[in-house]
Amino acid sequence: MPIARVHRIIAQGPDDAAGLESAIAAGTIDPAGILAIFGKTEGNGCVNDFTRGFATQSLTLALARHIGEERAKAVCYVMSGGTEGAMTPHWTVFERVEGEGEPGPALAIGRVHTAALPAEDLGRLGQVRQVAAGVRAAMAQAGLTDPADVHFVQIKCPLLTAQRIGEAEARGASVAVRDTLKSMGLSRGASSLGVAVALAEIAESDLTDAQIGRDLGLWSGRASASAGVELLNHEIVVLGMSKSWSGPLAIDHAVMGDAIDVEPVRAALARLGLGAPGQLGQAARDRLVALLAKAEASPDGQVRGARHTMLDDSDISSTRHARAFVAGALAGVVGRTDIYVSGGAEHQGPPGGGPVAVIARKG
């Protein structure tokens, strides 16, 4: 019977695979069972953040020494740049092993690599459809037949560069946007709507190209998308609860209505048995395995009626402000800083808010 294991490893830099190597040497992690690694790297999180690719390369090379290059490349590496504020750079390693564990339902994991996305499909329905198909395939791999059992879908999606735009235009195709930074938001948005379609949150027939990145009233409560220059396809990881999996881990999710709306997160922690809402003692903190969240600057320039300036800063991207702000709010709830907060939440939760997933050991 499949059992999910999740390991959190502090990283000293984007090339630091020492913690992973140590866990493998100690027998804590079986490299053959690694399905995905989520990482927070200390880059700027923008188009030219090469810490993501550096981390992917470093971790792939480390795993290749144990399981070979082909199997190492099959791992989904979801690197999110930007550890603003006091967010700790770290890796979250998702592993599948076989055995007899605590009876389910338990955390289930599925992962898929899609084909390369044509540049002309980025930010359009072509991307929505490709992601939706990938999510369904990852669900099937995890044995998750009911969309209601899916609690979080983490996607690494591509972006546009000047070279990719030029190649598309040279073959007579047009792209959704020529601004490479804006392409990150469109890619995240289309990917998230793909999740919404796969999980029956939104009907594909209700979507048009023109709504992507514009009609923010359309969103998924379980999608988390991070765009990067280091890939051309999508890497999709589906996390849910399944009776066909066993083991000690469980997952729940919440949706923050705005950047300081931590009460839904407290409620999710309570549903997992980590104390009553508003309380998280040391024993509960020890059972917390991972906290995954999305963050964005509210597009109306306000948080609960008070003006914010995240969108008016010409020096620092608003996604960097949002990551730091939301990470601080969530760190105050769970009492730790090694949490995964990704910036840019287009179609991921309501405008200014975002989905959150909590993985914990069962009580």
Please list the active-site residues.
156, 226
- Do residues 319 and 82 make contact, with C-beta atoms less than 8 angstroms apart? yes
Residue found under tokens 């998702």: 94
In 3D, which of 36, 42, 44, 38 has the Cα closest to residue 15? 42
Q: Which amino acid is at 224?
A: S
Question: Residue 335: how many CB atoms within 10 A of its CB?
Answer: 12
Chain-centroid distance of CA 207 in Å reads 23
CA distances from 325 to 83, 322, 345 (A): 11, 5, 14
| First-residue to last-residue Cα distance in the chain | 21
Helix (H, G, I), strand (E, B) or coil at 12: coil
The 8-class DSSP code of residue 103 comes to -
Q: Are strands 249-256 and 354-361 parallel, antiparallel or unpaired?
A: antiparallel
Torsion angle, alpha carbons of 68, 244, 151, 141, to 10 = 40
Phi then psi dihedrals of residue 256, to 5 deg? -80, 130
Q: How far apart are alpha carbons 185 and 193 in whole angstroms?
A: 12
